[in-house]
Amino acid sequence: MDYRILPPDGFLEARLRLPLSKSMSNRALIINALTPGASELENVAECDDTDAMRRALSSLDADVINIGAAGTTMRFLTAFIASRPGCSLLLDGSERMRHRPIAVLVDALRSLGADIEYAGEEGFPPLRISGRRLKGGELTLDSTVSSQYISALLMVAPLMEEGLKLTLKGETVSRPYILMTLKMMSEAGIESEFAGNTVSIAPQAYKAWNFRVEGDWSAAAAWYEIEALSSGTVTIDNLCRESFQGDRKLADIFGHLGVVTEWEGEDGGSDLVASPDQDARLRIDFSDTPDLAQYVIVTCAMLGIPFHFTGLSTLAIKETDRVKAVCTEMAKLGIFMQPEGNDVLSWEGQRRPMTELPRFDTYDDHRMAMCLAPVALFVPGIIINDVEVVSKSYPEFWDELRRAGFTLLDGDAPLPDPDDE
């Protein structure tokens, strides 16, 4: 399904609740499954990624588990199944998943005693895993690729015979996600030490817990973008100021783009308020918060704010190569950006007139759809292809846009005649 999107007729006003954090939900589900005697978790995100995790954890006696396009689920389950004695199965995913590298994690688990074989191309899913209690010990891991590899290892570390002493090599990407994992493990009774670049976890048992999953800060990014482009009124009822999530940095970043976060709004919730104060040029390192990059890139392009962004290398192994994809779609607006290697993207304001209303592709990537939709505020009538991709993390996104006053037409519908009342 495709949508043609028209902006609100008047002043934009929106009040909403964010979906629950899928990052926290997936960690909670794994920790809960590792906890003796724990009851089933109820307060978790309802989206494709979390649904894939729940289905997989309830199907561990199957011969094959296919997790579709859920990258976090693939990485976390690889470590979970490898450390589960008596569990033997094939872990597979979508065609895109079969091209997302996993060798760093597999090599690490093998060195700790895991029995994992590649069932297809070397270094990529599908994986044939025979679970056992892992020996553990000391391990040095390349931490420049994905923090999910690290979190996957940390969550199963307490069950290893010797525990785990993990030394991170290189500039660690998405470090806040590692801290989130350790904080959630602590809530479940696990003691750890993170000193310098080394995390140490002794053998110990998880304890039953009752953890509250926060609203998803990464899902808030589209609403910060909408506020920056509309200067309307957006109120979010479940935005957690003292959050475990690294994407909490979103509020600080958009402060440079003219969006002030008032944490205690007049009617409760947190108000996003427009400010005339915008940076003339933006420089940001996204190493800790790569999932925010697309929204900030599109916002800067629409507002005409030049930028120099670094820390983008992990975006190449997401649902799509996100930097390449966003550059391709911005070109449809006459906005031309050229990546510098796989880590840097700069823009000096180059643009040409559009030749036609753009029809944006989404590349099976939920964040591409959500970062491009607000462009309708500047270019009414844009079309977003394959809108169902948002179900991966934010199934209610399009309904929330409607409630905020946007009009969503069928992608093949003509533009309304402005003379029609």
At 102-148, the pLDDT tens digits run 999 999 999 999 999 999 999 999 999 999 999 999 999 999 888 99
Q: For residue range 313-329, list pLDDT tens digits in order.
A: 887 766 678 899 999 99
> Residue 364 and residue 107: Cα distance in Å, rounded?
28
Using a pLDDT cut of 90, give the percent of the chain over it.
Answer: 84
Q: Which of 291, 343, 361, 386 is catalytic?
A: 291
Q: State the pLDDT at residue 419.
A: 59
Question: What does each C-alpha distance from 266 to 101, 217, 271, 272 come to in angstroms?
Answer: 48, 21, 8, 12
- Based on the residue annotation, tell me whether 252 is a catalytic residue of this protein: no
CA 283-286-287 angle, 5° bins:
130
For the chain, report the end-to-end CA distance as a whole number of angstroms: 27
Among residues 321, 323, 318, the alpha carbon closest in space to that of 340 is found at 323
Q: For residue range 367-409, list pLDDT tens digits in order.
A: 999 999 999 999 999 999 999 999 999 999 999 999 999 999 9
Q: State the pLDDT at residue 146.
A: 86
Q: What is the mean pLDDT of residues 155-184?
A: 94
Q: State the pLDDT at residue 321.
A: 87
pLDDT at 421 over 60: no
Determine the CATH number of domain 22-201. 3.65.10.10
Q: State the pLDDT at residue 210.
A: 82
* pTM of the predicted structure, to 2 decimals: 0.90
CB-based contact 155:180 (threshold 8 Å): no
Q: State the pLDDT at residue 418.
A: 65
3-state secondary structure of 78: helix
Q: State the pLDDT at residue 90.
A: 98
CB-based contact 387:1 (threshold 8 Å): yes
Determine the CATH number of domain 3-19+214-410. 3.65.10.10
pLDDT at 197 over 90: yes
Q: Beta-strand (E) ranges in 147-279? A: 164-169, 193-195, 198-201, 233-236, 257-262, 270-278
3-state secondary structure of 214: coil
Domain boundaries for CATH 3.65.10.10 within the chain: 3-19+214-410, 22-201
